[in-house]
Amino acid sequence: MNVWAIRLRGTDLFLPDTPSRCKTQVEPCSNDVPRIFTTRKGALCALTWWKKGVTYITRTRDWDGYLESECQNLEERPERADMQMEVIEMELVEIGR
């Protein structure tokens, strides 16, 4: 089975997986599990969003606590546009068979 990941070109630094929805708030690193994609298109889409900057959601609630509005915000990170990131294909192999 082939999978894809996003790596800083020429290094072993990958965009890591996170347990939350905060996928654009991380930077490439080598000590975490890489974020894995089942399609190349999914990896390219994630890379496009990551290069734009950090996205976060602002929610407002009324006085009863009910969700009133939800707004997606973008904090631009221009330095990411120059980073030489690449989508790489990897083979997922089961060990011990």
Q: How do the pLDDT tens digits run along the chain, 97 residues long?
A: 999 999 999 999 999 998 877 888 899 999 999 999 999 999 999 999 999 999 887 778 787 877 777 777 888 888 898 889 999 999 999 998 7
- Got the DSSP string for 35-91? P-BSSHHHHHHHHHHHHHEEEEEEEEE-TTS-EEEEEEEEEE-GGGGGS-EEEEEEE
Q: Is residue 74 part of a domain?
A: yes
The domain tally of the chain equals 1
Q: Is residue 97 part of a domain?
A: no
Q: Is residue 85 part of a domain?
A: yes
pLDDT of residue 88: 97
DSSP state of 17: P
pLDDT of residue 74: 85
pLDDT of residue 72: 77
Domain of 29, in residue numbers: 2-91
Q: Is residue 18 part of a domain?
A: yes
